[in-house]
Structure 1
């Protein structure tokens, strides 16, 4: 990853950093820059536009370099090879210098004119404002329907009700973004991750436009990755906050199974001592398997209980036993 000719530090703090991941969007970059400049300039605050080029092959970098020569607000980060949108977002967060960070796509489907209203909403006391493309200009079967199903599933599974987690247009307080590593397709789960850590998350309707140039870089093939990322985020969120509770549930589950087989064995013993010949024969046949199952289940009970205790020690050693890293960062905002 390289940053092309970084501009000198501004004498005044930068209020807003607009982070735009780019992959083969050469035709969209000029009109997008014009719209972004118009929207950010109208707010009367200092700003920068940070383009992250994901090793485009269509001349996007050439267009960006030309735009930067014309506008000192533009900065460019370029990957040496293609890493994907999440890596582009993470690189933008690392290089952004603004107090607020705005993210949006580079294909002109997000409307920069929505940014002032979203920032105003954030200043009402929120930490994250997520865009909601209520009226999407996409095909229903391949884009809108999978999005509806995914958003419902994410809401049910995480308890965080966001209508449109896939909308890239979002506004964050910069403090919220510190200290978190992103990978795979996890950029879409940021509101879920930070809401679980105590961030105040809201959403507002935004304009969504049909694609003017090129074609979408994403399709149904990403659905599997999204589901796996959802599972990992849920696990990590629970583990980092209360590992003993998480593994304790598993330990208790196996203990109940063990108790069931112990009761089965006791019933067999009772029948055997009552002189029932068939029960005695059955007990002799199943005695060893039942005892073996009980021993195995009790080993699992001890195993998961110890994992929970080790998890608690690891969390405590990392300084997260009372207040996670995200919580400390969020408290800076209050």
Structure 2
């Protein structure tokens, strides 16, 4: 199979007929073998009933329905697991992504040998409340990830080599940073392509300010897990060593200061009278705790994660 189109959706019943018809037309015009995987993320507006109806007339459509709303990352991760195409293309269901971009995105993977191509909506039709946070995230992600050539990490329109989606794990709000996840997994040939951004035709945006905070926290998580996920002791051990020996050094200095006073026949101050005594004590305790945290993290770092086990109510 040439292409799997993965479409996460939440309350997009009005756009689904036009979207699937458009995708099928593009595939037929280019003689691609394909599948369309629609992941209903707990919609309440009849989206699943529409998917069932569309499936009856289009055998290339597959549907996956979550029992409740898990979020876009969960939908993408489940879609990636189900995808069978050599090239996987993701797009949003709101018709702001154009299926006419599919052939070019496919060629960048199949012919040019890229691992991942991320769309860049150079001209956007989103409100400022969405574009400003996006610009901030993109700037921070470029600096922290070491992928300076991408302008829009969060663009829903992307294409992937099959091996990429089968070797990354998307959860939380990490769909924003899939190129970073791919890089940490060893897929470094990552490119960008300018794509059309269309005004929303139906429904309303699902963007909320809570995603701004969650996205920032997930960026920190990606940075930490990508750098220290397989060697957590390197992080906790380093911090613990610095803290522990800082405390020991201060303790030795306090003891030496007391001995000097004794050698000069001066009544020494009690160590507890010096604020540095408490700083040293806290530093030693904190260093020991960080060491223990590092050891525990090493023990669990290779354990299987269960965070991507989602309750799927139905499939077709």
Equivalent residue for 2:141, pick from 129, 154, 165: 154
C-alpha distance in structure 2 between counterparts of 1:80 and 1:314, whole Å: 30
- Over the aligned positions, Cα root-mean-square deviation in angstroms equals 2.6
Give CA deviations for 1:150-169 in whole Å, capped at 9, x if unaligned. 11112223333332121111
Contact 1:102 1:169 (8 Å CA) reproduced: yes
Structure 1 residues 274-285: aligned runs within 5 Å: 275=264, 277=266, 280-281=267-268, 283-285=269-271
What corresponds to 1:294 in structure 2?
280
Give CA deviations for 1:65-85 in whole Å, capped at 9, x if unaligned. 222222111111112222222
SS at match of 2:97: coil
SS at match of 1:76: strand
TM-score by length of 1: 0.80
Structure 1 residues 127-276: aligned runs within 5 Å: 127-139=115-127, 141-161=128-148, 162-178=150-166, 180-200=168-188, 201-262=190-251, 264-265=253-254, 268-269=257-258, 271-273=260-262, 275=264
Contact 2:245 2:284 (8 Å CA) reproduced: no
**Does residue 1:106 correspond to 2:89, yes or no?**
no
Gaps of 5+ in 1: 1-13, 320-334
Matched residue count: 301
C-alpha distance in structure 1 between counterparts of 2:239 and 2:57, whole Å: 60
Gaps of 5+ in 2: 305-316
Between stretches 75-84 and 238-247, larger displacement belongs to 238-247
TM-score by length of 2: 0.85
CA deviation after TM superposition for structure 1 residue 90, in Å: 1.6
Contact 1:132 1:204 (8 Å CA) reproduced: yes
Evaluate the alpha carbon distance shift between residue 273 and residue 106 of structure 1 in structure 2; reply closer, same or farther with a 3 A threshold: same
What corresponds to 1:76 in structure 2?
63
Q: Which runs of 4+ in 1 moved over 6 A?
A: none
What corresponds to 1:324 in structure 2?
none
Structure 1 residues 302-317: aligned runs within 5 Å: 302-309=288-295, 311-312=297-298
CA deviation after TM superposition for structure 1 residue 306, in Å: 4.9
Give CA deviations for 1:154-210 in whole Å, capped at 9, x if unaligned. 222333333212111111122222254432211221110111222122221111111
C-alpha distance in structure 1 between counterparts of 2:18 and 2:123, whole Å: 22
**Does residue 1:47 correspond to 2:23, yes or no?**
no
SS at match of 1:88: helix
CA deviation after TM superposition for structure 1 residue 49, in Å: 0.6
C-alpha distance in structure 2 between counterparts of 1:153 and 1:218, whole Å: 19
Higher relative contact order (CA 8 A, sep 6+): 2
